Structure 1
Amino acid sequence: MGATITAVSSNGAYSFTKPNRDSITLLTGLGVEGDVHCGVTVKHRSRVAQDPTQPNLRQVHLIHRELFEEVAGAGFDVASGQLGENVTTEGIDLLALSRGTLLHLGEDAVVEVTGLRNPCLQIDNFQDGLLKQVVGRDESGAVVRKAGVMGVVRRGGVVRPGDAITVEAPEGEHVPLERV
Protein backbone atom coordinates (compact mmCIF):
# COMPACT_ATOMS: atom_id res chain seq x y z
CA MET A 1 0.00 0.00 0.00
CA GLY A 2 1.29 3.46 -0.86
CA ALA A 3 1.23 6.62 1.17
CA THR A 4 -2.18 8.21 1.67
CA ILE A 5 -3.92 11.10 3.36
CA THR A 6 -6.10 9.92 6.25
CA ALA A 7 -7.51 13.31 7.31
CA VAL A 8 -7.42 17.01 6.46
CA SER A 9 -8.02 19.83 8.93
CA SER A 10 -8.16 23.61 9.07
CA ASN A 11 -9.25 26.40 11.36
CA GLY A 12 -9.88 30.08 10.61
CA ALA A 13 -9.28 31.05 14.24
CA TYR A 14 -6.23 30.66 16.45
CA SER A 15 -6.74 27.40 18.32
CA PHE A 16 -4.41 24.53 19.12
CA THR A 17 -6.60 21.94 17.45
CA LYS A 18 -8.13 22.04 13.97
CA PRO A 19 -11.45 20.44 13.02
CA ASN A 20 -11.37 17.71 10.39
CA ARG A 21 -12.86 18.63 7.01
CA ASP A 22 -14.16 16.75 3.99
CA SER A 23 -11.52 18.59 1.95
CA ILE A 24 -9.11 21.52 2.12
CA THR A 25 -7.89 23.73 -0.70
CA LEU A 26 -4.18 24.49 -0.88
CA LEU A 27 -3.32 27.87 -2.39
CA THR A 28 -0.01 28.30 -4.20
CA GLY A 29 2.47 30.26 -2.09
CA LEU A 30 -0.04 30.80 0.73
CA GLY A 31 -1.17 27.60 2.45
CA VAL A 32 -4.58 26.25 3.37
CA GLU A 33 -7.48 28.42 2.24
CA GLY A 34 -9.32 29.84 5.24
CA ASP A 35 -6.73 28.60 7.75
CA VAL A 36 -5.34 31.07 10.28
CA HIS A 37 -1.77 30.21 9.19
CA CYS A 38 -2.38 30.96 5.50
CA GLY A 39 -0.16 33.69 4.09
CA VAL A 40 3.12 34.68 2.47
CA THR A 41 4.64 35.86 5.76
CA VAL A 42 4.68 34.06 9.12
CA LYS A 43 1.37 33.66 10.95
CA HIS A 44 2.43 31.69 14.04
CA ARG A 45 2.19 34.13 16.93
CA SER A 46 5.67 33.51 18.34
CA ARG A 47 7.23 34.02 14.89
CA VAL A 48 5.21 37.18 14.24
CA ALA A 49 6.44 38.59 17.56
CA GLN A 50 10.06 37.98 16.49
CA ASP A 51 9.76 39.35 12.94
CA PRO A 52 6.42 39.64 11.10
CA THR A 53 8.19 39.98 7.73
CA GLN A 54 9.70 36.46 7.81
CA PRO A 55 8.63 34.21 4.93
CA ASN A 56 6.02 31.67 5.96
CA LEU A 57 7.84 28.33 5.78
CA ARG A 58 5.02 26.80 7.86
CA GLN A 59 2.08 27.15 5.46
CA VAL A 60 1.06 23.49 5.76
CA HIS A 61 1.63 21.17 8.73
CA LEU A 62 1.71 17.43 7.97
CA ILE A 63 1.82 14.76 10.64
CA HIS A 64 2.01 10.97 10.37
CA ARG A 65 -0.91 9.00 11.80
CA GLU A 66 1.59 6.45 13.07
CA LEU A 67 2.64 8.98 15.74
CA PHE A 68 -0.84 8.72 17.27
CA GLU A 69 -0.36 4.96 17.66
CA GLU A 70 3.07 5.52 19.21
CA VAL A 71 1.80 7.98 21.85
CA ALA A 72 -1.23 5.76 22.52
CA GLY A 73 1.26 3.18 23.77
CA ALA A 74 2.22 5.70 26.46
CA GLY A 75 -1.43 6.32 27.39
CA PHE A 76 -2.25 9.36 25.24
CA ASP A 77 -5.35 9.60 23.07
CA VAL A 78 -4.68 11.81 20.04
CA ALA A 79 -6.74 12.04 16.86
CA SER A 80 -6.25 13.78 13.52
CA GLY A 81 -6.28 17.57 13.74
CA GLN A 82 -5.78 17.64 17.50
CA LEU A 83 -2.10 18.61 17.25
CA GLY A 84 -2.93 21.42 14.83
CA GLU A 85 -1.93 19.67 11.63
CA ASN A 86 -3.57 20.31 8.28
CA VAL A 87 -2.79 16.94 6.68
CA THR A 88 -2.58 13.58 8.44
CA THR A 89 -0.61 11.00 6.46
CA GLU A 90 -0.15 7.25 6.58
CA GLY A 91 2.57 5.07 5.10
CA ILE A 92 5.30 7.69 4.72
CA ASP A 93 8.23 8.47 7.02
CA LEU A 94 7.81 12.24 7.00
CA LEU A 95 10.62 12.83 9.49
CA ALA A 96 13.20 11.10 7.29
CA LEU A 97 12.50 13.22 4.19
CA SER A 98 15.09 15.59 2.80
CA ARG A 99 14.52 19.33 2.91
CA GLY A 100 13.08 20.31 -0.46
CA THR A 101 11.18 17.05 -0.99
CA LEU A 102 8.02 17.58 -3.01
CA LEU A 103 4.90 15.84 -1.78
CA HIS A 104 2.25 15.44 -4.47
CA LEU A 105 -1.06 15.36 -2.62
CA GLY A 106 -4.06 14.08 -4.55
CA GLU A 107 -4.45 15.03 -8.18
CA ASP A 108 -3.00 18.54 -8.24
CA ALA A 109 -1.47 19.88 -5.03
CA VAL A 110 2.28 19.94 -4.35
CA VAL A 111 3.86 20.83 -1.00
CA GLU A 112 7.59 21.40 -0.60
CA VAL A 113 8.91 20.18 2.76
CA THR A 114 10.75 23.00 4.57
CA GLY A 115 11.54 21.41 7.93
CA LEU A 116 10.37 19.91 11.19
CA ARG A 117 7.63 21.29 13.37
CA ASN A 118 9.07 22.59 16.61
CA PRO A 119 6.55 21.47 19.24
CA CYS A 120 5.73 23.95 22.00
CA LEU A 121 4.30 23.87 25.49
CA GLN A 122 0.76 24.11 24.11
CA ILE A 123 1.01 20.35 23.58
CA ASP A 124 1.19 19.85 27.35
CA ASN A 125 -1.81 22.17 27.76
CA PHE A 126 -3.67 19.83 25.41
CA GLN A 127 -2.60 16.67 27.29
CA ASP A 128 -0.18 16.92 30.19
CA GLY A 129 3.06 15.05 29.48
CA LEU A 130 2.48 14.72 25.73
CA LEU A 131 5.34 17.10 24.86
CA LYS A 132 7.87 14.57 26.19
CA GLN A 133 6.40 12.01 23.80
CA VAL A 134 6.89 14.17 20.70
CA VAL A 135 10.24 15.77 21.63
CA GLY A 136 13.06 13.78 23.10
CA ARG A 137 16.73 13.00 22.72
CA ASP A 138 18.52 10.23 20.88
CA GLU A 139 21.44 8.15 22.20
CA SER A 140 23.92 10.94 21.39
CA GLY A 141 21.82 13.57 23.16
CA ALA A 142 20.58 15.28 20.00
CA VAL A 143 17.02 16.65 20.08
CA VAL A 144 14.50 14.50 18.20
CA ARG A 145 11.29 16.21 17.05
CA LYS A 146 8.46 13.88 16.05
CA ALA A 147 5.48 16.26 15.69
CA GLY A 148 5.48 16.30 11.89
CA VAL A 149 6.85 18.46 9.12
CA MET A 150 6.08 21.86 7.70
CA GLY A 151 5.90 22.89 4.08
CA VAL A 152 4.99 25.52 1.54
CA VAL A 153 2.48 25.13 -1.26
CA ARG A 154 4.20 25.00 -4.66
CA ARG A 155 1.01 24.09 -6.57
CA GLY A 156 -2.49 24.45 -5.24
CA GLY A 157 -5.35 22.03 -5.37
CA VAL A 158 -8.07 20.30 -3.39
CA VAL A 159 -6.90 17.62 -0.95
CA ARG A 160 -9.14 14.97 0.62
CA PRO A 161 -8.86 11.97 2.92
CA GLY A 162 -8.05 8.91 0.83
CA ASP A 163 -5.93 10.85 -1.65
CA ALA A 164 -2.59 9.34 -2.59
CA ILE A 165 0.74 10.93 -1.71
CA THR A 166 3.64 10.69 -4.13
CA VAL A 167 7.13 11.61 -2.93
CA GLU A 168 9.57 13.41 -5.25
CA ALA A 169 13.04 13.63 -3.72
CA PRO A 170 15.09 16.71 -4.54
CA GLU A 171 18.21 16.39 -6.68
CA GLY A 172 21.55 16.21 -4.91
CA GLU A 173 22.47 15.13 -1.41
CA HIS A 174 19.93 14.34 1.27
CA VAL A 175 19.56 17.36 3.57
CA PRO A 176 18.21 16.35 6.99
CA LEU A 177 15.25 18.32 8.22
CA GLU A 178 15.79 20.97 10.88
CA ARG A 179 13.17 22.87 12.88
CA VAL A 180 11.41 25.74 11.14
Structure 2
Amino acid sequence: MRKYFFICSIVCISFLLTACVQKEKKTADMKNYLEQAGDMMEEELEESGLEDYESIARAKAKENDIAGMLDFLGELNHVHKEVKKGLEKIDKKYRATRKVHHLQIELFDENIDFYEWQLDVLKNEEPERELKQIMLYTKPLDIPKYDESSEYWNRLQEVEEKGEELLDKIDYYWDVYTMEEYWDDV
Protein backbone atom coordinates (compact mmCIF):
# COMPACT_ATOMS: atom_id res chain seq x y z
CA MET A 1 0.00 0.00 0.00
CA ARG A 2 2.81 2.40 0.87
CA LYS A 3 4.44 1.56 -2.43
CA TYR A 4 1.33 2.67 -4.38
CA PHE A 5 1.03 5.83 -2.32
CA PHE A 6 4.69 6.65 -2.97
CA ILE A 7 4.31 6.05 -6.73
CA CYS A 8 1.11 8.15 -6.87
CA SER A 9 2.82 10.95 -4.95
CA ILE A 10 5.77 10.99 -7.35
CA VAL A 11 3.45 11.03 -10.37
CA CYS A 12 1.42 13.93 -8.92
CA ILE A 13 4.53 15.93 -8.11
CA SER A 14 5.85 15.31 -11.65
CA PHE A 15 2.60 16.58 -13.16
CA LEU A 16 2.69 19.70 -11.00
CA LEU A 17 6.29 20.50 -11.90
CA THR A 18 5.59 19.95 -15.59
CA ALA A 19 2.54 22.20 -15.41
CA CYS A 20 4.55 24.99 -13.75
CA VAL A 21 7.29 24.81 -16.39
CA GLN A 22 4.68 24.75 -19.17
CA LYS A 23 2.90 27.76 -17.67
CA GLU A 24 6.16 29.74 -17.64
CA LYS A 25 6.79 28.86 -21.28
CA LYS A 26 3.28 29.92 -22.27
CA THR A 27 3.70 33.17 -20.35
CA ALA A 28 6.99 33.88 -22.11
CA ASP A 29 5.45 33.08 -25.50
CA MET A 30 2.50 35.42 -24.90
CA LYS A 31 4.74 38.23 -23.60
CA ASN A 32 7.07 37.86 -26.56
CA TYR A 33 4.21 38.00 -29.05
CA LEU A 34 2.55 41.04 -27.48
CA GLU A 35 5.83 42.94 -27.12
CA GLN A 36 6.77 42.28 -30.74
CA ALA A 37 3.29 43.27 -31.95
CA GLY A 38 3.38 46.50 -29.95
CA ASP A 39 6.89 47.37 -31.09
CA MET A 40 5.96 46.66 -34.70
CA MET A 41 2.95 49.00 -34.59
CA GLU A 42 4.96 51.72 -32.87
CA GLU A 43 7.79 51.47 -35.44
CA GLU A 44 5.39 51.59 -38.40
CA LEU A 45 3.58 54.62 -37.00
CA GLU A 46 6.92 56.38 -36.40
CA GLU A 47 8.20 55.57 -39.88
CA SER A 48 5.06 56.99 -41.46
CA GLY A 49 5.00 60.05 -39.18
CA LEU A 50 1.69 59.06 -37.60
CA GLU A 51 2.76 58.68 -33.95
CA ASP A 52 0.05 61.14 -32.95
CA TYR A 53 -2.53 59.95 -35.47
CA GLU A 54 -5.52 61.08 -33.42
CA SER A 55 -4.33 64.69 -33.42
CA ILE A 56 -3.71 64.48 -37.16
CA ALA A 57 -7.25 63.19 -37.73
CA ARG A 58 -8.71 65.95 -35.56
CA ALA A 59 -6.73 68.63 -37.42
CA LYS A 60 -7.85 67.34 -40.84
CA ALA A 61 -11.46 67.16 -39.70
CA LYS A 62 -11.37 70.59 -38.10
CA GLU A 63 -10.01 72.12 -41.32
CA ASN A 64 -12.54 70.08 -43.33
CA ASP A 65 -9.53 68.93 -45.38
CA ILE A 66 -10.95 66.02 -47.34
CA ALA A 67 -7.81 65.59 -49.46
CA GLY A 68 -5.67 65.62 -46.32
CA MET A 69 -7.97 63.11 -44.64
CA LEU A 70 -7.68 60.89 -47.74
CA ASP A 71 -3.87 60.94 -47.50
CA PHE A 72 -3.98 60.37 -43.75
CA LEU A 73 -6.39 57.41 -43.92
CA GLY A 74 -4.48 55.93 -46.85
CA GLU A 75 -1.25 56.02 -44.85
CA LEU A 76 -2.93 54.68 -41.70
CA ASN A 77 -4.44 51.86 -43.75
CA HIS A 78 -0.99 51.07 -45.17
CA VAL A 79 0.47 50.96 -41.64
CA HIS A 80 -2.20 48.46 -40.56
CA LYS A 81 -1.54 46.25 -43.59
CA GLU A 82 2.22 46.25 -42.94
CA VAL A 83 1.79 45.41 -39.26
CA LYS A 84 -0.65 42.64 -40.15
CA LYS A 85 1.97 41.12 -42.48
CA GLY A 86 4.56 41.38 -39.72
CA LEU A 87 2.30 39.71 -37.16
CA GLU A 88 2.10 36.63 -39.37
CA LYS A 89 5.88 36.24 -39.09
CA ILE A 90 5.99 36.20 -35.28
CA ASP A 91 6.53 32.72 -33.87
CA LYS A 92 3.53 31.53 -31.85
CA LYS A 93 4.21 28.25 -30.07
CA TYR A 94 1.15 27.88 -27.88
CA ARG A 95 -2.57 27.78 -28.52
CA ALA A 96 -3.30 30.73 -26.22
CA THR A 97 -0.89 32.94 -28.16
CA ARG A 98 -2.38 31.75 -31.45
CA LYS A 99 -5.88 32.63 -30.18
CA VAL A 100 -4.79 36.16 -29.27
CA HIS A 101 -3.02 36.42 -32.63
CA HIS A 102 -6.17 35.31 -34.45
CA LEU A 103 -8.27 37.95 -32.67
CA GLN A 104 -5.66 40.59 -33.39
CA ILE A 105 -5.65 39.70 -37.09
CA GLU A 106 -9.46 39.92 -37.10
CA LEU A 107 -9.20 43.38 -35.53
CA PHE A 108 -6.68 44.48 -38.15
CA ASP A 109 -8.94 43.14 -40.91
CA GLU A 110 -11.87 45.04 -39.44
CA ASN A 111 -9.80 48.24 -39.22
CA ILE A 112 -8.49 47.87 -42.77
CA ASP A 113 -12.00 47.31 -44.08
CA PHE A 114 -13.23 50.37 -42.14
CA TYR A 115 -10.41 52.58 -43.48
CA GLU A 116 -11.00 51.39 -47.05
CA TRP A 117 -14.71 52.16 -46.76
CA GLN A 118 -13.91 55.65 -45.43
CA LEU A 119 -11.46 56.18 -48.29
CA ASP A 120 -14.17 55.29 -50.82
CA VAL A 121 -16.62 57.71 -49.22
CA LEU A 122 -14.01 60.49 -49.13
CA LYS A 123 -12.87 59.90 -52.73
CA ASN A 124 -16.42 60.01 -54.06
CA GLU A 125 -17.50 62.67 -51.57
CA GLU A 126 -20.73 60.77 -51.17
CA PRO A 127 -22.94 59.73 -49.63
CA GLU A 128 -22.85 63.20 -48.11
CA ARG A 129 -24.33 61.99 -44.83
CA GLU A 130 -21.44 59.52 -44.34
CA LEU A 131 -18.89 62.13 -45.40
CA LYS A 132 -20.17 64.41 -42.64
CA GLN A 133 -19.92 61.57 -40.13
CA ILE A 134 -16.29 60.89 -41.04
CA MET A 135 -15.39 64.58 -40.80
CA LEU A 136 -17.04 65.04 -37.37
CA TYR A 137 -13.97 63.92 -35.43
CA THR A 138 -12.77 67.27 -34.16
CA LYS A 139 -11.86 67.65 -30.48
CA PRO A 140 -10.53 65.24 -27.89
CA LEU A 141 -13.05 64.42 -25.19
CA ASP A 142 -15.72 66.25 -27.18
CA ILE A 143 -17.65 63.30 -28.50
CA PRO A 144 -19.58 64.51 -31.49
CA LYS A 145 -23.18 63.59 -31.95
CA TYR A 146 -22.89 60.79 -34.46
CA ASP A 147 -25.92 59.64 -36.35
CA GLU A 148 -26.32 56.19 -34.84
CA SER A 149 -28.19 54.98 -37.91
CA SER A 150 -25.27 55.81 -40.21
CA GLU A 151 -23.06 53.17 -41.73
CA TYR A 152 -20.04 55.00 -40.28
CA TRP A 153 -21.38 54.59 -36.76
CA ASN A 154 -22.19 50.91 -37.32
CA ARG A 155 -18.74 50.17 -38.73
CA LEU A 156 -17.09 52.08 -35.91
CA GLN A 157 -19.04 50.02 -33.38
CA GLU A 158 -17.94 46.77 -35.08
CA VAL A 159 -14.28 47.81 -34.83
CA GLU A 160 -14.69 48.77 -31.18
CA GLU A 161 -16.43 45.47 -30.36
CA LYS A 162 -13.63 43.50 -32.02
CA GLY A 163 -11.09 45.53 -30.01
CA GLU A 164 -12.95 44.83 -26.77
CA GLU A 165 -13.03 41.11 -27.60
CA LEU A 166 -9.25 41.13 -28.07
CA LEU A 167 -8.66 43.02 -24.81
CA ASP A 168 -10.97 40.66 -22.92
CA LYS A 169 -9.01 37.65 -24.21
CA ILE A 170 -5.68 39.26 -23.29
CA ASP A 171 -7.04 40.09 -19.81
CA TYR A 172 -8.19 36.49 -19.43
CA TYR A 173 -4.71 35.19 -20.22
CA TRP A 174 -3.12 37.75 -17.88
CA ASP A 175 -5.20 36.21 -15.12
CA VAL A 176 -4.55 32.61 -16.17
CA TYR A 177 -0.81 33.03 -16.52
CA THR A 178 -0.47 35.53 -13.66
CA MET A 179 1.51 37.95 -15.75
CA GLU A 180 1.35 40.86 -13.31
CA GLU A 181 5.11 41.22 -13.54
CA TYR A 182 4.67 42.04 -17.21
CA TRP A 183 2.37 44.96 -16.44
CA ASP A 184 4.97 46.32 -14.01
CA ASP A 185 7.54 46.34 -16.84
CA VAL A 186 5.27 48.06 -19.37
| TM-score bracket relative to the smaller structure | under 0.3
TM-score of the aligned structures, taking structure 1 as reference length: 0.27
Tell me which protein shows more helix as a share of its residues. Answer: 2
In our comparison, the structure showing a higher alpha carbon Rg is 2
TM-score of the aligned structures, taking structure 2 as reference length: 0.26
